[in-house]
Structure 1
Amino acid sequence: MPHYREKLWASAWSFIVTALVIPASILVLAPINMQAGYVTAAVLYGGCVTLLVIASPVIRVENGLITAGPATISVDLVGEAMPFSGTEASQERGPRLDVRSWMLIRGWVGPVVKIPITDETDPAPYWLVSSRHPEKLVAAINESRRPATDF
């Protein structure tokens, strides 16, 4: 059974931009107390980093299940997954997007994987999931869908 795991970490730029709370905190609190500015800056930046780490979802394919963040679905209920990168990924996230789809999109991850849902009772026609390794994710999903053959 194929196995895949990916955590959609925030980009390095997210951590760098978040670091702007450091000089901002120091600047605001400097007239009152410089030490309070340093402590506040450290606490705020630590909090921002913690939130970025906690908010990074995990995508898994294992034991016949696909998990993307808080959602899980059996591989028996999905069709052939398809990877999209570059302009095609932008089209899937934009003009070609079905508003009924279930999405796990992160702005700092360009490529996406489209996973059609074959369950008639599911209102979402497909999942659209960000992935830094769309070909590997698609391979794991599509290989999991194939029945195991006994020799």
Structure 2
Amino acid sequence: MHDDVSRPVRSAYSERVLPGPLGWFLTVAAGGVMAAVFYPVSTALALAAGVVTFVAAVVFALRTSPLVRVADDELWVGEAHIPLALLASPRALDREQTRHETGPGYDPRAHVVLRAWAGTAVRVEVVDPADPTPYWLVSTRQPERLAAAIGAGSR
């Protein structure tokens, strides 16, 4: 019997980085635009096209919104994960600092998971000498809480 299968997951932090109000408005707008395009052809077709487009836009928004979590001594961002023991110096970034990190402060070797609809992020250094990735840069709406969860687990 595998112990890790029956062991409960300890989660210190969890957040799905969903679009903001504008993003959700655009999903509705996309459905409305498609309905308007097909309205001259058929009301039923317009309704169907609008609903299908809206549902597709919602699914797209959800599928492109990564789950960021600190659980069982690992940082998970979508499917990527790294042990907290290999991380150091988590830093909560405001909008301006996040812009700097994606512009003049950007290192192309970094592991970056950013979403435009979340203007803040956390930068955390990778201290594994065998890993060529210098740091992770991760979108979050709660950078202080995520940085604190990473910092508490990496000690």
Residue 98 (structure 2) aligned to one of 89, 113, 121: 89
Matches within 5 A, 1:79-118: 79-118=88-127
Q: Which residues of structure 1 form unaligned runs of 5+? A: 147-151
Query: How far apart in 2 are the matches of 1:96 and 1:122?
Result: 20
1:123 and 1:102, CA in 2 relative to 1: closer, same or farther beyond 3 A? same
Q: How many residues align?
A: 146
What is the Cα deviation at residue 31 of structure 1? 2.5
| CA-to-aligned-CA distance 1:98-128 (integer Å, 9 cap, x gap) | 0110001010111111110011121210000
User: What is aligned with 2:5?
Assistant: none
* Partners of 2:111 and 2:137 within 8 A in 1: yes
What is the Cα deviation at residue 2 of structure 1? 7.1
What is the Cα deviation at residue 91 of structure 1? 0.6
Query: How far apart in 2 are the matches of 1:60 and 1:134?
Result: 12
**Amino acid paired to 2:77:** A
- Say yes or no: does 1:125 pair with 2:124: no
Q: Which residues of structure 2 form unaligned runs of 5+? A: 1-9
Q: Which stretches of structure 1, 4 residues or more, deviate above 4 A after TM superposition?
A: none
Q: Match of 1:128, SS?
A: strand
User: What is aligned with 2:62?
Assistant: 53
Q: Match of 1:72, SS?
A: strand
Q: Match of 1:89, SS?
A: helix
